Amino acid sequence: MLLDADRLGTLAEASIALGLRPYEIGPLFLVPNGLSDLHDLLADRRRELDIVSFLLTKLVEEESEAGEAISARDISRDGRRTELRPSVEEIVNAIDIMSGLHVGALRLVDTADDPKFATYVLGDAPAGARRLRALADAIDRRPSEAQ
């Protein structure tokens, strides 16, 4: 499939907005499935971000309604009633993403041998968001701008 400049620009903007690396968008130029592979990757990344957002929303809801921790299994079960319909594995992945950043947006309450049964509560999400923004700014800063 031939790409015009507008379509290539749209794909580039989406790739930048989703934080894709050059090696991830490189397959775009492979024949015959490069473009469809990139579209799949963009859709997967958007879904991953949607699931992270859903996870945080469920943690806020659980904290305000019951004041208790909630497991990935329970979040996934609640998600079955939504259009997103995240699997337990997708919720565990979202928890890993948020926990791996060490920004304090999630707080582990009870561990479990199987991660889908560990329970979490919302941590300091606004502070976590600010920390991620600061980290992103530090990454974007050019070496000549460093002090």
99: exposed, middle or buried (Cβ count in 10 Å: 0-12, 13-18, 19+):
middle
Q: What is the pLDDT of residues 17-31, one digit of tens each?
A: 888 887 888 877 777
pTM: 0.77
The structural domains of the chain, ordered by start, are 5-145 (1.10.10)
End-to-end CA distance of the chain: 47
The rounded distance, in Å, linking the Cα atoms of 142 and 14 is 23
Helix (H) and strand (E) counts in the chain = 6, 3
Residue 104 identity: G
Q: Which residues of the chain have pLDDT under 70?
A: 1-2, 142-147
